[in-house]
Structures are given as structure tokens and as C-alpha cells.
Structure 1
Amino acid sequence: MWFFYAISLPLTLIGVVYTLLYMPSRGTGWLVKVNVGSAWICALATLILVPSDVYHAMQGQHLELLRQWWRISYWYGFIAQFTILPLHQEYVDSGAFTVCGRLGSALRNNLIFYAILTAVGAFGLVLLLITGELAPANVLGFCVAASNAVGLIAGIFLMGYGLVAVPRQLWRTANIQGAQNALCHKAGLQAEKALAARKELEKAAALVQKVSATFGRRDSLRPYMDRIEAMISESGEASVFGAGDVEDGADLDYFDLEDLARLRRHVRRAIEDIQREREVYHDIVLQYLEVSDVLSNRLKRGQPFVSSTRQHQLPTMLGHIEWWWRCILRGWVYRLLALVTAGLSIAIVLAEATISPYVPNLSVFSRALHETAGNELATELLTFVSLAYPCLCAYWAIFKLGRFSFYLLVPRHTSAYSLLANAMLMSRFAPPLAFNFMAGIALPPSKSYSPGRDVTDTVFYQEFGVLMMHQPLIGWDFTTYLPVALMPYMLLLVFNVFNRVASIFTRGRSIEFDDDFETRSGAAAKGLRLLQMELDNYSAGRPLGLTITTAGRDEGRHGFAAALRSESRHWWFWKSKPQSSLLADEHSLGSSASVNRGVTQPMRVSDQRVEQTRLANGPPSSETQSAGLDSIFERLSSDKDTGIAKPGPMNVEPDQRHNDNLGGSARRWQWPRK
């Protein structure tokens, strides 16, 4: 027990601390991190407590220390998900300028949530009164059972999707061409999200300017208006000023502090959205560059791996090892993991389908645990692995829901609202999944080969299961028969029945996942086009993300110039291109002159003359730079409606420079040549 705790507990704490340091956006308060970290620790504690509980139940032992830890973990998560986390979530999301104003806003925004909880509680009281079991213990048991039922319904739905999608995704990742197709689909979807977020921020900035013009210098609300304007400037998104316009019919009546608080909240959300969506898109582009590297290096057997995303290459020996790993071995490792996870998924489905005590038990995990019952460490490790996989599938499915992004964890760009929402979801799903695992997979009730050693012998059942199992409607029968629906649900997912049926009645789907790239929505084709443009931009030493910055502008000329000026401030742009070649490339974006990994390619005679003139006259003014960039875009832009500089037709001739420098495909989009 203590040896397992000595390994698992420090790893859990290190993982939580690292996530709290790596994920939150700039300016996230320490109190948010404390609440989120506490909720995460209590939710992840199930991965530590369940293995110990299962082992001691099989030995007929009941540790008082384990009982105390279960009480702390469960009741803190139970209380936090209904009080602390939702109130704190609305508090940080409020745009009010005072603490009292934020508290009042948090209470008002949670009124519907608490009204629903009150209605459910009243229904439970009536039900207990009808059945003649109205007692304080049963009232508490109904609350626990209701929470377990909600978490179990959602958990089964999400876990079922993950049990199918995780092996499928691993198998697809093993195929580098399939991974490239998936990235194209993701890029197409993410570009739409980023452009929508950009337009929303431009509209918000235009609205701020309109409202600001109505406040005089001596107006008592002027300082609050200045704080709202400063939010956009301090966030690094000042280029949106003047880029958009207020929608027709927009409400411009902002007369009091409450109205300005609403505007402040809207602006902050728009800033968080654009920064999050842009960061996700950048990550997809970097993954695409890495995939292009693998496709190129595969043709260079016997040579060290050359990466276009690293400034300094590895030593020769390490380069050869990297080549074997990324070009050969990693694909087979992913295929092996796909087969292993597929076997685990099948075993979990069989165990869930036979959870009832009236049918033969088909739980492979339960039989394996009884075989290792004499070895404490082996039992706890086996329990940990068999519990971690379904939990991983459920949480993985949550973050792949394509229509919901407010709880995504994006490195350095996760808002406080998203962190608290994530913590609330983990607190809600952890106990139901843990109890479902113990009751259906590890220790099924009353099986013939394990008389007297089932889920009822665990500390968790004695503390919480007894309270909820005897409740009407949502008690033991509900917990027993609901998981049976997992098998037909997964079969429908395997054969893609839901999407096929939905496509008959509607063009879209009410629920879609980000990895469903085998659709005809056009996202993959659009993503391929954007990624090829990003590849060309990167080969020329220009920053990533110009495609999503310029494509959403109504006036492409100003959008492209402003985008290049804004994006070129990033450190990796200046680091990847020498200062002496910046102006030359600005005046020849469509030419063959390019900079790759800090090495300047030979410039044409005209480019050399431009460089000599620049060195003689000194740095150009901002107006000269803007005019030069505008003329560049006017020369390259072929779509004046969207502002996208469209690539030319597909060139079937290999581009040797592109293959040698970036390792991309021989077939690529080309800029139109004159």
C-alpha cells in the first residue's frame, strides 16, 4: 500500500502542479489555481484510492485511514462542483469593476443552475414521501444517487465514444499520410474558428470606439471606459482597431456601470477566444511541418534526420536514431498501442454488459485481479491501469467535442473560466466512473467464483454506495442496467451510424467531434490549401498564422500589411530571418528568394540593389513599410472578397528547393509565376 502511494501520490501532485504552471493564461489569479488544483487532486485521487480499496476488499480488510481519505476526496469534490467552482467560475467571468459587483453577478448567473438543483431536490423529496422512505439519511442518499446518475449517464456516453475513438486514432496516427489528412481537416476547422474569433474581436473593438466617443473627458464613467480600451492594447491585439465595423442595429446604449461591465466582459471573451484559437492553429501548423519532415526524410534512408523546425540539428548518431524512430519505429509502436487499446476496449465492453449478478461474468479484469490477489503491488498496479484507461477515454472524448471549446486546455492560453469548468467536469465524472469500475469491472457483485468478495466489501460502497443503492429509480437497478447500453452504442459508433442518419435529415450535425475528418464538409480541402500556404510562408522565413490573419479581412490589402507588421514582432520571426534580408523579402514575397533556418538564399540583382539602398538610407519609416506591404498584397492577392492570396494550380513538377529545405511533398501549391 505505502509503496504504491509513494509512487502514485508524488506523480499526481507533480502532474497537477505542472499543469497549473503550463496551462493558465497570463494574469490568472492564484486563487483560481488553488481551487482548480484542489479539485483536480480530489478527482485524480480516485486513481490512487480505488486500487488500494479493491485490494483490501479482496483481503477482507477495512483501513480507517482509507475511509478518511475517501471522505475528504468525495465530499470536497461533491461540495465544490455545486458551490465553490460554479460561483468562482462566474465570478472570474464577470466584467464588473468591483468585488461586490462580481459576487452579485456570480449569484445572478447561477440562479438557473440552483433552481434546477432545487427542482430535482423537491422531486426527490416527493418520491421519498410516496415510497414511505423519507428520512434524513435517505435524503442525503438521494442527493448522492442523483449526482451519480447524472455523472454515469454522461460518463457512459463519453467513455463509449473514447473506447472506439482512441484505438482508431492511434491506428490512424501510425499512418503518416493519414495523420496528414487529419491535420488538414483540423486546420480547416480551426481556421474557421480563428477567423470567426478575429471578426468578433474586430466588431468588439469597433463597438468600444463607438461607445468611447460618447463619453466626455469629465464623465464619471470615463476611467472605466479607458480601462476597457486598455484591455485591447495591453493584450497585443491593437491592430483590430479600425479593422471592423459595428453591426447594423447594434445596441450603443451604455449609460451606467452595469452596461460597461457587460461590454468589458464581451471584450475580454473576444480577446481570450482569438488568442486561444490562434494558438491551436499554430500548433496544427507545427505538427504539419513535422509530418512533412517525416515524409521527406523517409526518402533519405541512411542519412540523419533533418528537421525544419529546429535551428540546430542533432549530432550524426542521434540524427540516425531519430530517423529510425520517427520514420520506421514510431508507426509500429502506434499500431501496437492501437491493438492493445482495442483489446482493452473489448474487455471493458464485455465486463459492462455482464455487470448484472444474474448473468455469467465476463470481466477479464476481475479474473486477473483474483489471480493476483496475494500480491498487493501487482493487484494495485493492475487496478490502476484498468481504471486509468476508461477514465482517459471519457476525458479524451470531452476535449474532442467540436462544438464546445470553453473548457479546452491550451498551453499558456487557458482562461480562468476554462480552468474552473475543467475542474468542475473532472469532479463530476470521477466518482461515478470509479464506482462503475468497481461494480462492473473489478469486483462485480455476487459472482459464483468470488463468493462474499464483491463491490459491497469496498470502503467506497460502505461510505457512499449504501446511501444511494436503495434509492427508487436511480438506485442499484439503474447502476446495474445502464452500462448494458454501452455495447449497442459502441457498435453504432463503429459503423458510423449516427453520422449517416444525421446526414439524411440535415446538412450539419448537432454533435460532432474534431477527429471526424472523413466527412465531406470541405474542411480537409480548405485545410490543405491553408497548410500549403503556411509551408510556403515558413520556407520564405515569414511567421506562421498569416493565412488566418488575412483571410478574414473585408479589405485584404490593409489586413495583410497589418498582419505582417503585427506578426513580425514575435521572437521566432526575427530569430528565423536575418535583419539584413527583411526588407528585401518584403518587396519580393512571391519571388524565389527565401530564408530557411537562418541561412539567406542568394538574392537577385534587384534585391541586392534594394538592400544597398536600405543600408544607405537607414531604416524606412512606418508609412513607407505600410505602403510597401500594401503594394505587395495588391500584387499577390487574387481574391479581393476574402483577402486570401490564392496559390496557383497544382504543379506536378517536383520543387527541388522545397524538398531539400523543408522536406515537403513533391506536389505542392505554387505561387503564380509571371
Structure 2
Amino acid sequence: MGEASYGVPAILAVTLVTAYMLHYFAASECDLAVRFMVMVSWTLSLSIVALVPADVAATMYDEETSSLSTLWDLSYWITFTLTWFVLPFHQLYEDAGDFSALARASTSLRENGIFYGVIVFILLLGAILLTSYGAMTSESMATFALASSTMFGICAGIFALGFGLVDVPKIIWRRADVAKRQAEAHRRLGVASRALEDAFVGLRKVIKASETTREVIPRHHVYAWAVAVIARETPKSSAFEGAMDKVDDDVDGVLDYDYDELSDLVALRRELRRRTRVYRRTAAQYAVAVENAIEAEAVFNCGAGAGGLGDRGCLMTPDGGQRRFRSPLRAPRQGRYGEAVEAVEWWWKCRVEPVLLRVLAVALGAFSVLTVWAEGTMFSTQAMEGADVSPFSAMVRAAKDKGGLHMAVAIPLGYMCWCAYHSLFRLGMFSFYALVPGHTDSFSLLINAALTCRFAAPLSLNFLMMVPSLREGDANKETTFGRKFVDGVPDSARNFAAVFPAILVFYCGALAFGVFDKIFSACTSSFGGSLRDKYKFESDEKDLERNVHTTDGKRIAERERSAMQNQTKPKIGSGSPYYFELASGDMGRESEMADLGGRGGDVDVERAGLLSAGGRRSQPRSDERPESRWERNKERLASALERTGELRVAKPPGAKPPGSSSRASRFGLGRGLLGGSGGTDSSTGGGSRLDSMFASLGGDK
């Protein structure tokens, strides 16, 4: 009855939390398969954390744990399969640019080959070791897999946990200081604006490549259907309202592109999907940064004062001394209770919130110190017969009933998971993934789901090892999950899991006191200021890049705020020439693809027979020079256009073919491709447009 009274509310709470998180973060274009996979991953990961209090209570009160054992097995092994096999496959499947489900699956398996090869190698190594000791059974292999995954999770999770233990209280403390909060918001807006510009440049290049490809491919080309699919997914240049011409075309990087090779069209489509995904995500991050910056400015200017908490200026506002808060992000509140609501907001944002944030920062800082203390002294009870000085063990010992015991376990464990996942989130910002409210793409959701599955069980086991009071009075007493890890696992692995977390003491101390900044500064001082500034941690207050981003962010916030004052409904985006909302209407329409023989949706190329042997083109030789390959392709294009009637050579020798000057120059083919000479002299301007378009395509993925 005790397990049911806790388990049912816990399962319901976990399900509701994961459903809300998915609704809050997922973008509208995320398909049902991705949503289902992420929902299952998050639910099972959080259920592992939710099972720990029930496991501790059942151990302390000597209750039957058969149902807990089943739940542990289901939760752990499903998440193990998801994080190491299913989710990595699904990530690259979503990232692939192939034109059919089977081809995308093949690409995912091929690119995951190294990852899966490492896993297979570790499993084979474990099988050899177990066989040498005469313990090769199905149970021993399962135990070896559990121990290997848990050891990896503990090693990586300790570093993620350590960063979060220092960074979470620091961020909350800085937010309480309204002056520093404004400067930090401006800095983040400057960083977001720079990232948005980079994302726009990358998207612009691939859009031009896609549009140029659509122009030069003949109507009856064998791969016209593939170009139609790419064109349908390409944002229109007109949607950017002239901003396509604001970026210099001289961009480093070359993509060896071949218009009539299916593999190159697949690469183009993949690059297009990546760039579009990154731009949408970065634009959403920019919008959030603008909102935070304008909100911080409003709090600072509405009475908090430059001196921060405790300044007498907090009692006055620019509005005639009235204590009212008005945000530029919305219209002034009207109606009977409008002034009262604004007064309540002023008291909350200018007086109450800063105090509560500092109290919360101090409390979380104390919890971080207790966590580091417990991690650093774990080895004394786990690896040797030492005294129990763990504060979390004392909290469990002091619990009077099951309710108090559940709280004594759930609160510190929840804080540890929060800190660890906070680090993973900060790791992905403006790089390979990010969680953005309402705009998180499928690839980012799947990466986060895999990381959540990977660290839930190791963090839970790490917490259980910090609570040695569970075994008091009974030398054989052990939690269900702890027993599953101990049984069949070598003593060296258990001792390592107990001793390694002690590194957290030195790691957190180095982060808190800026030791890493000083080390990098000393190591790079002899290489000049540029290199020294490049390799600095984000926590360094003297970072020159921080000042540059702060200045840019302040200027952008001023432009955004000025534009909002002239709008009936305030809308973000006027402060940056690179911010655009890519809605479904901005993509190519099916009617525009009709002249290319395209279809309205994804093409089932296997069923349509479009990848038959007759439709394939021979792959280029590996020793063929890219220049000759491109010239050969321009000859093919000219021949294809001539066959399909796009160009007709009907003039006497020595005269220009009709339309050759306009049509050929439009396609960037130049002279020598269509005339009687039959040459391919690119020095006369031949292929200039395609050469420049695809020479600039490439760069970071």
C-alpha cells in the first residue's frame, strides 16, 4: 500500500511534467514520431529519479521490493536501449537529406557505424574478460553492460554536476542585482545577434545554391523530381525583403557540387535542412534575448536604480513618482484594475523579487556546498571503513516518517539532476543543439532526450552511494538499484565509483575561484592578447569579447524598443536586419514546382522506380580533378538544354545561336559551350554564376 500511495502520484506527476515540457519546447514542425520518442525518453528518465525515494523508503522500512525490481529493470534497460541505440539512429535519420525513408535509414546506420563499432568493441572486450574468468553468462553480460554504462555516466555526470553546482547559484545571484542583470542581458543579446548573423549567412548561401540549381536543371532531367523536392523546402528569397544582398558573397569554403549526381543533391538537401533548422532556432533565441534585455532595462529604469537592491531610488519611478511598472513588450494595462496590477508588478519586480532571488541563491549555494561535501567524503564509507559524515545521510536518518523520507531524498536528488542538466543545456547553446521555448527542432529534442536517458540512472546511483545510513543496523541491507549494481560487479568498479567523485571538490573550487581562467591566461600570455582572449571561460569578468557583445546588445535593444513604441502590437525583429520568421508560407509552393515535374510531398523514390539502374549516373573517378569535373558537367548541361529545346543552334557558322547570349549567360554557361567551336574555355566567363554560387557554399555544418 505504501508503494502504491507514492507510486501512483509520482507516475502521474512525471507524465504531466514531461507532457508540459514537450508542449513548451517542441516546434510546430516536429512530427509525431519524434514527439513520441522524446516523451517516452523523458518519462522513463524522470521515472528513474522518481523511483529512488520509493526504493530508499522500501529499504528503510524492510518492505517487499519485488515490484520495485521490475520497475527498475523496465526503466533502466529501456532507457539504456534508447540512449545507446535507438536515439542515435533517430537523430541522424532526422538529419539525413535523402529522399526516401529507406535511404535515410541507411545513411543513419552508416554514419553511426563508428559509434556502434565502439559499443560492440566494448561488449566483445567484456565478453572476453568474463570468459577468461569463467563467468560468461547472460546475466554477467547484462551486469557488465550496466556497470560500463553507469561508469561512463558517473564520470561524465560528475563534471556536468560540478559546473551546475557553481553556475546555478551564481546566475540567480547575478539576476538579483538589477544593474548586472541588465548588463548580462545586453551581453547575451549581443551574442545572440552575432549568432543570428552567422546563421543568416549560412542559410543565404544554401538558398542561392538551391535556387540556382532549380534554374539550370532542365524540365525533363532525370533528377528534376529531386530538385522539385529541394525547391519546395527552400525558403523564398523574397521573404527576406532584400536582406539577401546585405552579405558579401566572398565566403571561404568549397562544396564540390555536381548538378546531375543524386548524391550531391542529397548533400544539398541536407545542408538546406540543417541551415534552415539552425536559423529558425537561432532566430527564436534572438527573440528571447530581446525580451530579456528589454525586461531588464524596464526593471532597471522603473525604480530599481543603478545601485541595485537597497538603493533609495527603488522608491521612485520616472513616471511622476508613481510606483508602477510598464513593460515595452506590451501595451499599458487598461481597465478598472490596470493601475493596481502595475503597482503590484512594481513591488514584485523592484523590491520583492531581488530579495527572494538572493535568498534562493544563498540557499542553493549552501546546497551546492553540502553536495560537494557529500561527494568528497563518499569514499570514506564506500571504499573503506570510515565515519559517515554525509549531510544527506543525516537528513535520511532524521526523517520521522515516509513522507519526510521521500522529501529528504527527492529534494537533494532533484537539485543534483537540475545542476547536471543545466550544464548540458549550457553546453549546447548556440552550437549543436538548444532548447528554445516553442521552437526546438526535432534534432535538438532527440539529443536532449538521449542525454537525459544517459545520466538519469548514474546520478541516481551516485546519490544512493552518498547515503550510507541506509545500511545501518543491517550489514546486508541495500537498495534494489544498489543491489543490482553491486551483484556481479568487480570490487574495483565499485571502489572507482566511490573514489572518483572526490575530484568534484577540486573541480568546483577551481570553477568558483577562476583557477581555470588564470591557468589559461598564464599558458597563453606568451602568444599575445588575441590568443589569450580567445581561450577564456565565460565566467571571466574582464573578457574583451564580453564588452563588445554588451555594447552591441545595448544598441540592438534600443532599436527594438524604439520600433515597438510605434507599433500597436509590439513585435520583435526591427533591431536586426537578419531576423525573419520563416513560416510555412515562406517555403516554395507546389504550383511553382510544376514546371520542374515536382510533386507536392516527399517522393517514394523506390516505389516510383526513380533510383533504377537506368536512372543512375556513374560516379566520378576519385583521381579526377574538380575543375575538369565541373567543366564536364557544364557540357552535359548545355547538351541537355539543347536536347530539350531550351536552346536551339540554328544560325549559320560564325553567327551567334538565337538566345545564346541571354540564355547561356543566364545559366552562367558562357561561350564555347554552344557555338561551333565546341570548346570549354572557362577563362572567357563560362560558368561564372554556377562557379561562384557553389564555390561559396560550404563552411560549418
What range describes the TM-score normalised by the shorter chain of this pair?
A: 0.7 to 0.9
Q: Corresponding residue for 2:446?
A: 420
Q: How does 1:535-614 map to 2 (within 5 A)?
A: 535-541=561-567, 543-549=571-577
CA contact (8 A) 1:276 1:410 kept: yes
Q: Write out per-residue CA displacement over residues 576-595 of structure 1, whole angstroms, 9 at most, x where no aligned residue.
A: xxxxxxxxxxxxxxxxxxxx
Aligned match of 1:457: 478
Specify the alignment match of 1:318 in structure 2: 341
The answer to whether the 8 Å contact 1:55/1:379 transfers is yes
For 1:511 and 1:396, how far apart are their aligned partners in 2? Answer: 22
State the partner residue of 1:491: 509
CA RMSD, 1 decimal: 2.8
- Whether the aligned pair in 1 keeps the contact of 2:326 and 2:332 (CA below 8 Å) is no
- Aligned: 1:222 with 2:248: no
CA contact (8 A) 1:28 1:416 kept: yes
Question: Residue 237 and residue 144 in structure 1: after superposition, are their counterparts in 2 closer, same or farther (change >3 A)?
Answer: farther
> Aligned partners of 1:535, 1:315: CA distance in 2, in Å?
22
Residue of 35, 40, 44 corresponding to 1:38: 40
Contact kept in structure 2, 1:51 and 1:383, CA below 8 Å: yes
Q: Give the equivalent residue in structure 1 for 2:72.
A: 70
Given the alignment of the two structures, is residue 365 of structure 1 paired with residue 370 of structure 2, yes or no?
no
Instruction: Give 1:478's aligned residue.
Output: 496
> Measured at CA, do residues 234 and 444 of structure 1 come closer, stay the same or move farther in structure 2, by a change above 3 Å?
farther
2-side partners of 1:311 and 1:59: how far apart? 58
Matched residues in 1 for 2:111 and 2:469: separation? 42
State which drifts further: 406-415 or 323-332. 406-415
Which of 334, 339, 352 in structure 1 is aligned with 2:362?
Answer: 339
8 Å CA contact 2:536–2:543 kept in 1: the answer is no
Distance of 1:564 and 1:58 partners within structure 2: 58
Alignment partner, residue 640 of structure 2:
none
**Which residue does 1:188 correspond to in 2?**
190
Shift in Å at residue 509 of structure 1?
Answer: 8.2
Task: State which structure, 1 or 2, has the greater radius of gyration over its C-alpha atoms.
Answer: 2
2:287 to 264, 282, 286: 282
Following superposition, the deviation at residue 344 of structure 1 comes to 0.7
CA distance in 1, matches of 2:97, 2:369: 48
2:209 to 202, 207, 228: 207
CA contact (8 A) 1:499 1:509 kept: no
Q: Distance in 2 between matches of 1:278 and 1:520?
A: 25
CA contact (8 A) 1:354 1:360 kept: no
Which of 324, 335, 342 is the equivalent residue of 1:304?
A: 324
- CA deviations on 1:469-491 (whole Å, 9 max, x unpaired) are 326x5x10111101111101111
1:353 to 359, 368, 376: 376
Find the partner of 1:258 among 257, 263, 279.
Answer: 263
Matches for 1:66-215 after TM superposition, within 5 Å: 66-129=68-131, 133-215=135-217
Q: Is the 8 A contact 2:199 2:275 kept in 1?
A: yes
User: 2:28 is paired with a residue of what secondary structure?
Assistant: coil
**1: CA distance, partners of 2:66 / 2:137:** 27
Which whole-Å CA distance do the structure 1 matches of 2:422 and 2:538 have between them? 11
Deviation at 1:11, TM superposition (A): 2.3
- SS, match of residue 235 in structure 2: helix
Change (3 A) 1:30 1:111: same
CA contact (8 A) 2:47 2:75 kept: yes
2:155 and 2:429 map into 1 onto residues whose CA distance is 20
Write the letter of the residue equivalent to 2:572: L
Range 281-290 or range 138-147, more displaced: 138-147
Quick check: 99-108 or 127-136, which moved more? 127-136
SS at match of 1:412: coil
Alignment-derived partner of residue 328 in structure 1 = 351
Instruction: From 230, 233, 244, give the equivalent of 1:231.
Output: 233
- Structure-2 separation of matches of 1:538 and 1:289: 11
Contact 1:402 1:511 in 2 (8 A): no
Asked whether the equivalents of residues 560 and 572 of structure 2 are also in contact (C-alpha less than 8 Å), the reply is yes
* Alignment-derived partner of residue 436 in structure 1: 462
Relative distance call for 1:255 and 1:445 in structure 2 (3 A) is farther
Change (3 A) 1:564 1:264: closer
Give 5+ residue unaligned stretches, structure 2: 304-315, 525-530, 587-701
| CA offset digits 1:1-23 (Å, max 9, x no partner) | 44433443322211211222232
Identity of aligned residues (%): 27
Relative to structure 1, the CA distance from residue 312 to residue 14 in structure 2 (aligned partners, 3 Å threshold; closer, same or farther) is farther
d(CA) in 2 for partners of 1:517 and 1:537? 32
Q: In 1, Cα distance between the equivalents of 2:9 and 2:154?
A: 29
SS in 2 for 1:457: coil
One-letter amino acid of the structure 1 residue matched with residue 495 of structure 2: D
The 2-side partners of 1:191 and 1:565 are apart by 15
Cα 1:88–1:159, aligned 2, differ >3 Å: closer, same or farther? same
In structure 1, what is the Cα distance between the partners aligned to 2:151 and 2:330?
A: 50
Measured after TM superposition, the shift of residue 88 of structure 1 is 1.3
> Does the 8 A contact of 1:191 with 1:548 survive in 2?
yes
Q: Which amino acid aligns with 1:434?
A: S
Question: What's the CA shift for 1:52?
Answer: 0.6
TM-score by length of 1: 0.76
Residue 376 in 1 paired to residue 402 in 2? yes
Structure 1 residues 87 and 379, CA gap change in structure 2 (3 angstroms): same
Indicate conservation of the 8 Å contact 2:470/2:478, yes or no: no
C-alpha contact (below 8 Å) 2:87/2:446 kept by paired residues:
yes
2:34/2:446 contact within 8 Å kept: yes
The separation in 2 between residues aligned to 1:306 and 1:348, in whole angstroms, is 41
- Aligned-pair distance for 1:519? 2.2
Query: CA offsets per residue over residues 248-297 of structure 1, 9 Å max, x none?
Result: 74423132333212211110111111111111111111111111221222
Name the TM-score, length of structure 2 as normaliser: 0.73
The one-letter code matched in structure 2 to 1:376 is K
Shift of residue 528 of structure 1?
2.6
Deviation, structure 1 residue 544: 2.7
Between the aligned partners of 2:233 and 2:186, the Cα distance in structure 1 is 34
The 3 A distance-change label for structure 1 pair 171 and 321 is same
Please state how far the C-alpha of 1:237 moved relative to its aligned partner: 5.0
Give the Å deviation of 1:370: 1.3
Deviates further, 90-99 or 498-507: 498-507
Conservation of the 8 A alpha-carbon contact between 2:206 and 2:271: yes
**Equivalent-residue separation in structure 1 for 2:475 and 2:414 (angstroms):** 22
**Alpha-carbon displacement from aligned partner over 1:56-115 (angstroms, at most 9, x marks no partner):** 111122322222111111110011112211111111111111111111111111101111
Match of 1:628 in 2: none
Q: Which moved further from structure 2: 168-177 or 1-10?
A: 1-10
CA distance in 2, matches of 1:347, 1:453: 26
- Distance between the aligned counterparts of 2:179 and 2:457, measured in 1? 40
Alpha-carbon distance change, 62 to 176 in structure 1, aligned in 2, over 3 angstroms: same
- Cα deviation per residue 1:522-548 (whole Å; 9 max; x = unaligned)? 322332333233333333448533343
Instruction: Say which SS state the counterpart of residue 487 (structure 2) adopts.
Output: helix
404 and 463 in structure 1: CA distance in 2 versus 1, 3 angstrom threshold: farther
| Equivalent residues of 1:160, 1:486 under 8 A apart | yes
- List runs of 5+ in structure 1 lacking aligned partners: 551-562, 571-674
Per the TM alignment, residue 211 of structure 1 is displaced from its structure 2 partner at its CA by: 2.4
